[in-house]
């Protein structure tokens, strides 16, 4: 995916918040617990979930945070976020320009979205709003392409040609270049239980597929349907969940 496509797909590709909410997986309990404990979210005065989407990750951490605020640039996602009634405010904003005062946030989290940001600008903005020694947590659910049929699914979805980033990409050098320290990466097993119809919706929530012409979308959906035509329902779509926890320089 070229850099001109990235902003388009990063917002327009996620306009249908209801479909995204209905088809995307949550996050494994162990990964959430690790991030909450490592970043000391329970002791934080203010946690900000950036690019919160429909609130899939926000929901997971809400019970642990005394003050939690979501930020999301897509109106369609914010509408669906509000429908979830999480008791968390969601603000319009971008990672590169957050609506918070300098050194007013203790922890920033980003789920399934950091690859859409301008990393240099976003990390500079995170460092601006975070207190000295503040925490940054990143998390991704990535399809486990070591499984044969999942690898074939990624080929059918044209993932290897159009993906915004490579599954398993190491973001540690990017975080280090942005001035983050004590970076820790962990991986967890995860699986989404779904039926064939939900898998098709899941495919349509992929950013570059969401902005395709209907005929091109249908070609992909037909190939996905053929791939899983013999599967018993429900079936599992396996994922590897990757977390990064890091800190700004301390006082």
Taking the C-alpha atoms of residue 238 and residue 224, their distance in angstroms, rounded to an integer, is 16
**Is the Cβ–Cβ distance between 178 and 123 less than 8 Å?**
yes
In a domain, 47, yes or no: yes
In a domain, 207, yes or no: no
Q: What is the count of structural domains for the chain?
A: 1
> How confident is the chain (251 residues) per 10-residue block, as mean pLDDT?
42 75 95 98 97 97 97 95 97 97 98 95 98 98 97 96 85 96 97 97 94 95 98 97 95 70
Q: What is the CATH number of the domain that holds 89?
A: 3.40.50.150
pLDDT, position 1: 42
Q: What is the pTM of this model?
A: 0.92
pLDDT, position 238: 98
pLDDT, position 11: 53
Range of the domain at 75: 5-143+165-192+239-247
Compute the half-sphere exposure of residue 210: CA atoms within 13 Å on the CB side of its CA.
20
In a domain, 149, yes or no: no
pLDDT, position 12: 56
């Amino acid at each position: 995916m070229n850099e001109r496509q990235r902003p388009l797909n990063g917002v327009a590709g996620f306009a249908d918040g209801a479909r995204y909410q209905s088809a995307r997986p949550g996050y494994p309990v162990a990964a959430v617990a690790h991030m909450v404990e490592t970043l000391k979210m329970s002791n934080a005065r203010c946690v900000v979930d950036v690019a919160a989407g429909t609130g899939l990750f926000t929901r997971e951490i809400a019970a642990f945070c005394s003050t939690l605020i979501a930020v999301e640039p897509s109106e369609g996602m914010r509408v669906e976020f509000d429908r979830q009634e999480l008791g968390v405010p969601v603000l319009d904003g971008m990672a590169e320009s957050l609506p918070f005062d300098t050194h007013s946030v203790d922890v920033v989290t980003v789920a399934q979205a950091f690859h859409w940001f301008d990393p240099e600008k976003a990390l500079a903005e995170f460092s601006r709003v975070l207190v000295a020694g503040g925490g940054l947590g990143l998390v991704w659910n990535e399809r486990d392409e070591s499984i044969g049929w999942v690898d074939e699914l990624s080929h059918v979805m044209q993932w290897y040609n159009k993906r915004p980033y490579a599954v398993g990409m190491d973001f540690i050098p990017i975080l280090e270049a942005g001035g983050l320290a004590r970076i820790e990466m962990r991986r967890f097993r995860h699986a989404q239980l779904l039926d064939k119809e939900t898998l098709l919706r899941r495919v349509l929530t992929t950013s570059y597929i969401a902005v395709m012409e209907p005929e091109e979308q249908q070609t992909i959906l037909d190939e996905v349907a053929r791939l899983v035509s013999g599967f018993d329902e429900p079936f599992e779509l396996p994922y590897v969940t990757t977390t990064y926890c890091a800190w700004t320089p301390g006082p």
